[in-house]
Amino acid sequence: MKSTLAGTPQRIACAGAGLALMLAQAGCGGHGGSKMTAPLTPKVTTLARTMAEAPAGGPVQISSPAFADGAPIPVQYTCKGANIAPPLTWSAPLGAALVVDDPDAPGGPYVHWIVVGIPSGPGSTSDGQTPDGATSLPNSAGQPGYSGPCPPRGSGVHHYRFTLYQIPATVHLPPGLAGPRAARAITQATTAQAQLTGTFES
């Protein structure tokens, strides 16, 4: 489990007071296109954002009882198996959103799962579950749910980032977002984040 907590007032202001601009541009930086801007190195620092310090109540955290950070994802959670979401355990003092993506995808980062509205505090899921009270947005395939790792044959080891973004309940994302565009909006609205990375090779 990796976490990054740092930030600047300007970035936080972008997430809150500048949210209206984000709605029009899907991000305070005015990013365009359909790809996330993170480089291919699967580290939390590659999202090119500095994070604010987590508020009292504990840091933002995410882990899985199914695999350790940096370890292979069991086949049952991929397209080669049952293709169900792995069990997760997390903590987000102010509420959160979850983005699962593959930065090693041939066409750029591919979003496998987006979950918004995760309640504040600690939480967990079992195999195939969406966090209670949360909602799945359409992923890069246009499906509102989990789509497991399924890299092209022969493309080597892919890294799958389960990033938990803390988003205060006062921040509301615009309706109709999906895939990389939704992921960009989430990264702009977050105040802290934590990341779990799993690998898979077809």
3 state SS for the chain: CEEECCCCHHHHHHHCCCHHHHHHHCCCCCCCCCCCCCCCCCCHHHHCCCCCCCCCCCCCEEECCCCCCCCECCHHHCCCCCCCCCCCEEEECCCEEEEEEECCCCCCCEEEEEEEEECCEEEECCCCCCCCCCEEECCCCCCCCCCCCCCCCCCCCEEEEEEEEECCCCCCCCCCCCHHHHHHHHHHHCCEEEEEEEEECC
| 149-164 pLDDT per residue, tens | 999 998 999 999 999 9
pLDDT at 28 over 70: no
pTM higher than 0.75? no
The per-residue pLDDT for 174 is 86
The per-residue pLDDT for 56 is 42
Question: Which of 27-31, 57-61, 102-106 has maximum average pLDDT?
Answer: 102-106
Residues in contact with 170: Cβ distance below 8 Å, sequence separation at least 6, in sequence order: 16
In which band, very low, low, confident or very high, does the pLDDT at 172 lie, cut at 50, 70 and 90? confident
| 179-202 pLDDT per residue, tens | 999 999 999 999 999 999 999 998
Distance (Å, rounded) from C-alpha 43 to C-alpha 169? Answer: 26
CA distances from 162 to 32, 67, 93 (A): 23, 12, 18
| 36-83 pLDDT per residue, tens | 333 333 333 223 333 333 344 569 999 999 999 999 999 999 999 999
| 113-150 pLDDT per residue, tens | 999 999 999 999 999 999 999 999 999 999 999 999 99
Token digits for 179? Answer: 């895939």
The per-residue pLDDT for 175 is 85
In which band, very low, low, confident or very high, does the pLDDT at 84 lie, cut at 50, 70 and 90? very high
The per-residue pLDDT for 128 is 96
Q: Stretch 13-36: mean pLDDT, rounded?
A: 35
Ramachandran angles phi, psi of 61, nearest 5°: -140, 150
The per-residue pLDDT for 66 is 98
Give the domain 2-200 fold: Phosphatidylethanolamine-binding Protein (3.90.280)
The per-residue pLDDT for 29 is 32
* Domain boundaries, given as residue ranges, for the chain: 2-200
Strand partners, 46: none
Distance (Å, rounded) from C-alpha 70 to C-alpha 54? Answer: 24
